[in-house]
Amino acid sequence: MVVPVLKWAGGKREILDDLLARFPANFYRYHEPFFGGGAVFFELSPKDGAINDTNTRLMNFYRQVRDNPKELIEVVKGFKHPRSDPDPDRDYSDAKNYYYQQRELFNRRPRGEDFDPLVEAGLLLYLNRTCFNGLFRLNSSGEFNVPIGSYKNPDWVREQEVLEASKALQDTRIFNRDFSFVVDVVESGDIVYFDPPYEPVSATANFTDYSADGFDFDDQVRLIDVLQELDEMDVFVVVSNSGVMRDRYEDAGFYVDLKGVSRSINCDASGRGEVDEVIATNVSPGERRGRRQKKLSDI
Ligand SMILES: C[S@@+](CC[C@H](N)C(=O)[O-])C[C@H]1O[C@@H](n2cnc3c(N)ncnc32)[C@H](O)[C@@H]1O
């Protein structure tokens, strides 16, 4: 098991065992089209497959982790504690302190010839580990706008975690597309785990601001079409979502189970606490792996 490098809203660590218990005992390759922090991928450390997210800067980050882990660690080691010592030689006239200066750099990164994907990845890791709650939230102009978190000793270097994640990602293809791309890369016997932004329980209850363009009910319906298409291709699918999607998945012919879980990140304080979460799959109970199988090598 590899520890995820980033904190990510909707991280799946709480329901990991419930999810994995619905995976088939045997499968070929593993794909995860709504990757975020990749808690399930890193738990499994699969040998082969594809990961994807529409968040371009996030997928640049994982490419750097996979391809340039040592260089990335060097970049990140260069950052300072978020509340100390702004660089006196730089002109950050409107920045309040070091954290906000790095946030500013992240948002104003040069996109032309000078664009350095390694520095952008370093900034993302630094901000993720020092911002409020590890949220990744963009405003309508696509700028990262999360305030500083209150950590005494934030750990933004994550050397060990970056090196282990890099190993886990070595044979993984990394995409930055809409989730539906996955129908073009799967083969029969593969598994795809989908963890979309959750359909809100009420209009304001859930956190869905992962990207500037959001994910609406039409996207949820599109996702069901993709699940059915994959099912017809003999691909295993597992999807997690908020409990409000339960009937839709059942009507589409999937096995469904409801779980009560507590969500730790929610933009609306009244939405905190236990919410129902649904896990739907085409893996029949007889095909599932045993609860005691923790790692792929146990299969
Ligand atoms: C619930 S989070 C995934 C959390 C992840 N499973 C974890 O453990 O951290 C949903 C992710 O879907 C991404 N996303 C939103 N719309 C998408 C789309 N149309 N296609 C692919 N990814 C999308 C978001 O950027 C976000 O990272």
pLDDT for 109-154, tens place per residue? 766 667 899 999 999 999 999 999 888 888 888 889 999 888 888 8
CB atoms within 10 A of CB 114: 8
Assigned domain for 3 exists: no
Q: Whose CA is nearest to atom 17 of ligand 1?
A: 54
φ/ψ bin of 289: left (φ > 0), alpha (ψ from -120 to 50), beta (otherwise): beta
| Nearest to 161, CA basis, from 20, 283, 4 | 4
- pLDDT value of position 142: 80
Would you say the CB of residue 134 lies under 6 angstroms from ligand 1?
no
Contact yes or no for 261/245 (Cβ under 8 A): no
Q: Which 8-state DSSP code applies to residue 127?
A: H
Assigned domain for 8 exists: no
Same domain for 250 and 109, yes or no, is: no
Ligand 1 centroid distance, CA of 155 (Å): 24
| Domain final residue pick, 116, 135, 154 | 135
Ligand 1 centroid distance, CA of 101 (Å): 27
Q: Whose CA is nearest to atom 7 of ligand 1?
A: 11
Between strands 30-32 and 191-194, the pairing is: parallel
- pLDDT value of position 87: 67
Ligand 1 centroid distance, CA of 67 (Å): 22
Same domain for 104 and 246, yes or no, is: no
Residue 275, domain CATH: 3.40.50.150
Same domain for 176 and 291, yes or no, is: yes
Please choose from 52, 54, 227 the residue to mutate so as to test ligand 1's pocket, defined by most ligand atoms within 8 A of CB: 54
Ligand 1 centroid distance, CA of 176 (Å): 11
- pLDDT value of position 91: 63
Ligand 1 centroid distance, CA of 274 (Å): 21
Closest ligand 1 atom, CA of 196?
10
CA 245 to chain centre: 20
Assigned domain for 224 exists: yes
Residue type, 151: Y
- pLDDT value of position 128: 95
- pLDDT value of position 273: 53
Q: Whose CA is nearest to atom 26 of ligand 1?
A: 36
Same domain for 174 and 34, yes or no, is: yes
- Vertex 57: Cα angle to 129 and 124 (nearest 5): 20
Assigned domain for 142 exists: no
Would you say the CB of residue 62 lies under 6 angstroms from ligand 1?
no
Ligand 1 centroid distance, CA of 94 (Å): 32
Name the phi and psi angles at 247, rounded to 5.
-65, -35
Closest ligand 1 atom, CA of 6?
9
- pLDDT value of position 270: 43
- pLDDT value of position 210: 47
Structural domain including 83 reads 62-135
Contacts of 248 (CB under 8 A, 6+ apart): 220, 221, 224
Same domain for 128 and 196, yes or no, is: no
**pLDDT tens profile 244-273:** 999 999 999 999 999 876 554 443 434 445
- Vertex 48: Cα angle to 38 and 182 (nearest 5): 70
CA dihedral 198, 254, 20, 289 (to 10 degrees): 180
Ligand 1 centroid distance, CA of 87 (Å): 35
Q: How many distinct structural domains can be found in the chain? A: 2
